[in-house]
């Protein structure tokens, strides 16, 4: 993905430390502070490199419903859900979120949001199963910026920026509002890490204004190092780490969030249902909380 130079230059001026030019910053010099802000105040992460595929056409709801693990055919406008794209043997292709959006020209569309670097893979997978359905794809990854605002104060701060109280949103629900001088933005409720959090999606050309608005209202800038700590603590899987092409979807322990057990047939359904009915898989992703006993030794010389 091509770097957003204006946003990158701004972040460097704020102390951003980069590992690779085309990826978000690793940190802003104090990972502990960034992590703490997510737990107490508010921190913003640049996640603009996440994959974004726009799907349009009258057959999109039914087509996508037949390809992914969750029920998306009846998503209301402004609704979203977590899902997986899989092979016929239920091996992981992509971990996605699906949103029902309204385009500027009034057309309804579905937006598929995935891990960084998977935009081409997602589009090719969907296109492979497209036969005669009226469905079109557009890769919007480079067109939009995306920020994750996380922490106890995230809702209050964003409410100030849009000059109205954000209503109670369900998981993955979103609204579209004007954000100060940055114009129209999509604001999603995304507490995936068990912390209050919202994603702000805007045109790339508005990214600097959105970032400046957040920082000017007391949001701490954060990098991927702190974000990854929060992700691991929440047990949230990531492509290239916990999710690989050989990963069997039930092993990821996301059935409650990403797999619908009552929908009709979909790609990969049979092995997923068989694993559910057996009541076990060979391995499963879960977290451990360790209580560490600190022993103090009196050493006499």
Confidence check: pLDDT of 293 > 70: no
- CATH class of residue range 5-49+142-234: alpha beta
Confidence check: pLDDT of 128 > 90: yes
Query: Each residue of 189-247: pLDDT tens digit?
Result: 999 999 999 999 999 999 999 999 999 999 999 999 999 999 999 999 999 999 999 99
Contacts of 3 (CB under 8 A, 6+ apart): 21, 22
**Residue 247 tokens, joined:** 């990963």
| pLDDT score at 300 | 55
Over range 42-62, report the average pLDDT: 98
| pLDDT score at 177 | 98
Mean residue pLDDT across the chain: 95
**What is d(CA 286, CA 43) in angstroms, rounded to the nearest whole number?**
26
Q: Which SS3 state, helix, strand or coil, does residue 45 take? A: strand
| pLDDT score at 158 | 98
Query: Each residue of 186-196: pLDDT tens digit?
Result: 999 999 999 99
| pLDDT score at 282 | 83
Q: Which SS3 state, helix, strand or coil, does residue 123 take? A: helix
Over range 36-49, report the average pLDDT: 98
| pLDDT score at 2 | 67
**What is d(CA 147, CA 187) in angstroms, rounded to the nearest whole number?**
10
Confidence check: pLDDT of 1 > 70: no
DSSP strand pairing (43-46 vs 220-222): parallel
Over range 101-120, report the average pLDDT: 97
Closest by CA to 272, choosing from 56, 88, 128, is 88
**What is d(CA 130, CA 136) in angstroms, rounded to the nearest whole number?**
10
Q: Which SS3 state, helix, strand or coil, does residue 147 take? A: strand
Contacts of 205 (CB under 8 A, 6+ apart): none
| pLDDT score at 291 | 74
**Residue 16 tokens, joined:** 């951003």
The model carries a pTM of: 0.93
Confidence check: pLDDT of 288 > 80: no
> Do the Cβ atoms of 118 and 51 come closer than 8 Å?
yes
Q: Which residue has the higher pLDDT, 93 or 297?
A: 93
| Cα distances (Å, whole numbers) of residue 69 to 95, 124, 172, 207, 259 | 10, 18, 16, 32, 5
**What is d(CA 149, CA 8) in angstroms, rounded to the nearest whole number?**
18
Query: Each residue of 157-174: pLDDT tens digit?
Result: 999 999 999 999 999 999
């Amino acid at each position: 993905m091509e770097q957003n130079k204006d946003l990158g230059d701004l972040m460097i001026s704020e102390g951003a430390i980069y590992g690779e030019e085309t990826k978000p910053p690793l940190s802003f010099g104090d990972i502990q502070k960034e992590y703490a802000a997510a737990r107490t105040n508010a921190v913003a992460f640049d996640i603009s490199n996440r994959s974004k595929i726009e799907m349009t056409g009258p057959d999109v709801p039914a087509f996508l419903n037949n390809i992914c693990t969750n029920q998306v055919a009846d998503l209301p406008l402004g609704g979203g859900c977590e899902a997986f794209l899989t092979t016929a043997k239920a091996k992981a292709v992509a971990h996605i979120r699906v949103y029902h959006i309204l385009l500027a020209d009034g057309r309804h569309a579905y937006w598929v949001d995935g891990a960084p670097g998977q935009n081409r893979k997602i589009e090719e997978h969907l296109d492979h199963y497209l036969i005669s359905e009226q469905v079109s794809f557009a890769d919007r990854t480079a067109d939009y910026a995306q920020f994750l605002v996380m922490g106890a104060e995230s809702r209050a701060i964003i409410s100030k920026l849009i000059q109205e109280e954000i209503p109670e949103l369900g998981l993955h629900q979103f609204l579209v509002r004007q954000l100060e001088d940055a114009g129209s933005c999509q604001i999603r409720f995304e507490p995936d890490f068990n912390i209050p959090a919202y994603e702000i999606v805007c045109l790339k050309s508005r990214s600097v204004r959105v970032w400046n608005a957040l920082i000017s209202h007391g949001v701490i800038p954060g990098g991927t190092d702190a974000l990854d700590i929060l992700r691991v603590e929440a047990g949230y899987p990531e492509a290239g780490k916990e999710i690989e092409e050989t990963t069997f979807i039930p092993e990821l322990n996301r059935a409650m969030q990403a797999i619908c057990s009552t929908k009709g047939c979909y790609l990969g359904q049979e092995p997923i249902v068989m694993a559910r009915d057996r009541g076990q898989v060979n391995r499963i992703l879960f977290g451990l909380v360790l209580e560490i006993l600190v022993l103090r030794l009196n050493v006499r010389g």
